[in-house]
Structure 1
Amino acid sequence: MRRKHCEITDHQQIERILASTNVGRLATNGADGYPYITPVNFVYHQEKIYFHCAKKGEKLDNMARDPKVCFEVDIPLAYLDAGTDPDRRICKVHQLYHCVIIRGQSRIVPDGSLKVAALNDLVAKHENCSDHELVNQEMPAFKACEVVEITPTCISAKSDLAQNKAPEERFALARYLKNRNWPGDSEAVKAMGFDPNDMD
């Protein structure tokens, strides 16, 4: 990884990123030799990625032919416009973000308890509650879908939160973002370790 100051090695922090967003991007190897990327709703369950899909489709064909996949999640935070640079140099614009990239092996989960558990975890994550209707094997929708499991072989993660700046520069940047108040600015300020209510 080139920007080592952005690297995340703490597994709990990686899990928090995976838990805080619902959509990831799945890359499979296409029959034509091109990567094929699909956005999917997912859940991280027992250290593996799970998503559901129809029983037929290009990504399933690709995984049947080659189970090696790549899975990516990103959370854009604040966009640093030219106003964040004292000289307003356009080449200094930047994006703060979290991201996780997983290389792994995919497989279709057979009907059974693991498929039920993965689907219920997926629903609970997206419904953001635990009192939803529980999925069971008798539901027509259960039988009509596939659940895909990705077992990671390599996980890398980054958070770009201006860690390479001096403390006073980071504070000035956080205060600028707080006052600008664009979408993502408040989240970026908190991720940088500052309290937006205590920056005056």
Structure 2
Amino acid sequence: MKRKHNQITDQRFIDTFLGKSRIGRLATIGSDGYPYITPVNYVYLDGLIYFHCARAGEKLDNIRRESRVCFQVDQPLAYLDLAFADNHEKPCAVTQFYHCVIIRGQAKVVENIEEKVKALNALVSSHQDDQQHFEEITEQTPPVRHCEIVAVRVESMTAKSELAQKKSPEERARIATYLKQRNLAGDAETAVLLYSEDE
């Protein structure tokens, strides 16, 4: 990774981030040689990425022809606008704060019915809150036969965040104060993260 100061090496953070996120972007290799990117609902389970899809389609055709894939998950945080810089003549002063994970791996359609059912239950459960209950999916549940589950086995993984790591503690505190006062969606969370960089 070029910008080492942005790199995340804490595997627990990465696992938690992947576990709480719901949508990722899958890149497969198309028959024409071009990358083909699609957003998918996924679940991170036992170190693998699982997602469901229709039993036919370009994404699945690509995977069956070439199993190498890339999978990306991001979380946009606050956006630092020009009002903070107080200088509208310097557009490069704007900054998007974020977390991001990029995975390279091998994708394969899950043939084992027990693994398929386990992944489907985990996928549904990940989209419910603790107070919501659902009827457990079994091998006899009709939709099990009408969809595919794909597992992505991770071969390499990189993660990074943009949280003004190159700024001084004083500058990060100034940004955090601005974000708390601005109070747009994501500002409060980002302010806390900026302070935590100094701990």
The two structures share one fold, judged by TM-score above 0.5: yes
- Listed as ranges, the gaps of 5+ residues in structure 1 are 195-200
TM-fit CA distance, 1:188: 0.9
TM-fit CA distance, 1:111: 4.1
Contact 2:105–2:153 at 8 Å: present in 1 too? Answer: yes
Deviates more, 1:182-191 or 1:54-63: 182-191
What is aligned with 1:31? 31
TM-fit CA distance, 1:128: 2.7
What is aligned with 2:20? 20
Distance 1:84 1:127, change over 3 A: same
Instruction: Measure, in 2, the Cα distance between the counterparts of 1:23 and 1:190.
Output: 24
> Which AA in structure 2 matches 1:108?
V
CA displacement 1:150-186 (0-9 Å, x = unmatched) = 0010000001111111001000100000001111111
What is aligned with 2:103? 102
> Which AA in structure 2 matches 1:187?
E
What is aligned with 1:117? 118
- Listed as ranges, the gaps of 5+ residues in structure 2 are none
What is aligned with 1:52? 52
What is aligned with 1:177? 179
What is aligned with 1:146? 148
Deviates more, 1:11-20 or 1:83-92: 83-92
Instruction: Measure, in 2, the Cα distance between the counterparts of 1:148 and 1:192.
Output: 37
What is aligned with 1:127? 128
Contact 2:173–2:195 at 8 Å: present in 1 too? Answer: no
Instruction: Measure, in 2, the Cα distance between the counterparts of 1:132 and 1:22.
Output: 18
> Which AA in structure 2 matches 1:103?
R
What is aligned with 1:159? 161
Instruction: Measure, in 2, the Cα distance between the counterparts of 1:120 and 1:189.
Output: 35
Instruction: Measure, in 2, the Cα distance between the counterparts of 1:20 and 1:28.
Output: 24
TM-fit CA distance, 1:110: 1.0
What is aligned with 1:198? none
TM-fit CA distance, 1:33: 1.1
TM-fit CA distance, 1:85: 1.9
Quick check: 1:75 aligned with 2:71?
Answer: no
CA displacement 1:43-82 (0-9 Å, x = unmatched) = 0000000000110010100001100000000000011101
Percent identity reads 50
> Which AA in structure 2 matches 1:99?
C
RMSD over aligned Cα atoms:
1.3
What is aligned with 1:197? none
Contact 2:25–2:71 at 8 Å: present in 1 too? Answer: yes
TM-fit CA distance, 1:83: 1.9
> Which AA in structure 1 matches 2:127?
H
Instruction: Measure, in 1, the Cα distance between the counterparts of 2:133 and 2:91.
Output: 49
TM-fit CA distance, 1:189: 1.3
Q: Structure 1 residue runs of 4+, over 3 Å off? A: none
Instruction: For residue 127 of structure 2, give the secondary structure of its aligned residue in structure 1.
Output: helix
> Which AA in structure 2 matches 1:80?
L
